[in-house]
Amino acid sequence: MVWRAAEPSDLAWIEALLFSHIEGAMFLIGNLRDHGFGSDHPHGLTLWVREARDGVFGIANSGSVMMMAPDATRRDWREAGQLLAGRDVTAVLGKAMQARRFIAANDIGDHPCQLDRDDPGFVLDLRDVSVEMRPEEALVPLAEAPRGLVEGWRAAYEVEVLNAAPDAVRDKARHDIATYIARDSHRVLTVQGEPVAMSGFNTAFDEAVQVGGVYTPPMLRGRGYARRVVGRHLLEARERGARQGVLFAAGKDAARAYRALGFQPADAFALVLFSTPAQICAGRVEDVR
């Protein structure tokens, strides 16, 4: 067996590995930083590592599978899947090539999905942020924006970007906004006091931030609001000491906006969200490399 259970003594080399591939590892780093080993939080992780110290994969209590093992073979991914046999798998998140190999090796590629997409990844040295500052615009904490408005924005984002069912997003949007306010993770751009766009950090720690949840209402698009709300949010993170920004773009317009801020292309990131939990069948690991 190429995988073994991770131990706290592995944390230093795991973090070094993840930071060397940071554009595809922010969720893993964030969950480890926030919850460590053995947490019962929905984002708490059960982790396995490769004996060669060149790979890690795990599953959150919520059922999301994440990985960073660039050299893993099909047989390695099949072994990884066998460690999850019988567990509910709700999502697979990771660098597209690795995530797709994991899915294929474990025969879950045909399971119904809410979302099944590879998004282009981007990275940015925050010293290189380039953003226009307009005097009529301001960046404000999410808590200062009208609650009903931003809940509506979040619900619309779930439907448009994550393919969620419209009748299933209202309660989730309300919960998400409450969480973001508690974490102080999101910002709103205003023009003469009127909210026009929202930006968030899915994951943030001292060294880096991962941008996510960026939303501009359709009638306000094409005016650069998304670019400027993200750029100003990144400047704020830089002032706190963060050195790197990471994101994946959910469309060509978003990608253009991020390039304008200085982001550089990185590997694609797979977002596979199953409509209902998938399960990997227990069985023999075939000798296929």
Residues 109 and 150 in one domain: no
What is the band of 100 on the pLDDT scale with cuts at 50, 70, 90?
A: very high
pLDDT tens column, 183-210: 999 999 999 999 999 999 999 988 999 9
Output the domain CATH number for residue 202.
3.40.630.30
pLDDT tens column, 128-156: 998 999 999 999 999 999 999 999 999 99
Residues 85 and 156 in one domain: no
Q: Give pLDDT, residue 286.
A: 57
Question: pTM for this structure?
Answer: 0.89
DSSP-based three-state secondary structure for 27:
helix
Please report whether residue 257 resides in a domain. Answer: yes
Q: How far apart are CA 221 and CA 51, in angstroms?
A: 49
Strand order in the sheet with 3-5: 3-5, 45-50, 56-60, 64-68, 89-95, 264-278, 113-125, 244-248, 208-215, 194-204, 186-191, 137-141
Residues 137 and 251 in one domain: yes
Residues 82 and 195 in one domain: no
Q: Give pLDDT, residue 285.
A: 54
Q: Domain containing 48: what range?
A: 3-119+271-278
Nearest to 14, CA basis, from 28, 1, 2, 4:
28
